[in-house]
Amino acid sequence: MAGLRLINMRDKGQAYWMDYSMALFLFLVMLSIFLASLSNIESDSGIQEMKKKADFVSNTFLEEGMPLRWTSDNFSKIGFRVGKKLSKLRIYEFDGMTYYDEKSALALRYDFAVVFTNGSGAIQNLGNLCVIGKEMNITSRNRIAYYGNNFTDFIIKNMTGFNADIYTDEKLFSNLDNYTLLVLENPDFVDGNYSFAEKREMLENFVQAGNKIIFGGNLGGDAFNVSFVNAFGKNATFIREVSEMDIMQNESLNLSYNYAVNGSVDVLASGDGHIVFARWNYGNGTVYYLSNFSVRNKKKDIIKLIRYNINGLCGNFDFDSIDSDALVKIQRLCIVENRILTMEVYLWK
């Protein structure tokens, strides 16, 4: 109607043209907003679909997998839950798959990344692992040190992979504050500038403060409220389930051993009545003892145990590295092993 009036009145004066121009301008502005809104609605429906997928991914991770202790080779359904908590070992299994396989397992066509954060929002290092899914270049630092004289190949290779600081001398004791986990292989701490008693006191204080030690072979003397004795044998059996390693009761541990531990410990594996693999708490920390790291089977499981106990730091999530205008995030509160964390699931096109 407005257009018809305009044709009839175009010679009536400039004031009408001004009005007409203003009206046309307003109309075009609103038309642009309308068209932009249509475009946003299409985009919104895509976002809704992504939200549903993120929802699906988070639920899948928080459920139990099939079988319960699934591996990347045998799963029919993935899921991190074991009992009441999310298992780091199941997370490692998933992380060990290729990114393509991870997406296939989730029936996902979007890119995705998952991090676990604490209440302050800091990304947690779950044992040399800062992010699941797409590689996001989140820097990580594992607070782990290795000390040994007679290196066992598969141990030292993985220590390097975990970015552990490697020591062969007493400098380790000057830097203990930098670490939360020590892996000591046949240390025999008798010789050196520090006496065994001094080294023992430093190590005991280290564990007392809530840190962890995994050591094998001969320590050089008694420590951590237990004693070490000479004992000889070739095979042992796990006498209980070891959840940190995915080991079930009655599985065998093939190793030649010269030492065993005596004391109030959780016996993990024994041979001929000798305790060759044990775990016990000392102060606020935990000690694991294995008579000999040079095992003939269960090598991967030993590495799982080390990785399980790694703590460290992670850098920040660099959102700028995601080249997408559609990013969806879902947060779920959960328990990972013994800690309450927030699982953050990111999806993008």
Residues in touch with another protein (CB under 8 A): 1-2, 5-6, 9, 12, 15-16, 18-20, 22-24, 26-27, 30-31, 33-34, 37, 41, 44-45, 48, 51-53, 55-56, 58-60, 63, 66, 76-77, 84-85, 107, 118-120, 330, 332-335, 338-340, 342
Amino acid occupying residue 296: R
Within 13 Å of residue 64, how many CA atoms lie on the same side as its CB?
8
Q: Which of 109/135 has CB closer to another protein? A: 109
Q: Which of 45/178 has CB closer to another protein? A: 45
Q: How far apart are CA 127 and CA 95, in angstroms?
A: 11
Give me the least distance between CB of 313 and another protein, in Å please: 18
Give me the least distance between CB of 94 and another protein, in Å please: 16
Give me the least distance between CB of 164 and another protein, in Å please: 27
Give me the least distance between CB of 314 and another protein, in Å please: 18
Q: With b meaning 16 or more CB within 10 Å and e meaning fewer, what string describes 92-118?
A: bbbbebeeeebbebbebebbbbbbbbe
Q: Which of 23/209 has CB closer to another protein? A: 23
Give me the least distance between CB of 30 and another protein, in Å please: 4
Write the DSSP symbol of residue 222: -
Give me the least distance between CB of 265 and another protein, in Å please: 20
Strand ranges (E), the chain: 64-66, 77-82, 85-86, 111-117, 132-133, 140-142, 144-148, 165-167, 181-185, 212-216, 227-238, 252-262, 266-271, 274-282, 285-290, 312-314, 327-336, 339-348
Q: Which of 61/293 has CB closer to another protein? A: 61
Q: Which of 53/134 has CB closer to another protein? A: 53
Q: Which of 4/153 has CB closer to another protein? A: 4
Q: Residue 48 is inside which H or E element, if any? A: helix 14-62
- Please, what sign has the CA dihedral across residues 196, 180, 279, 292? negative
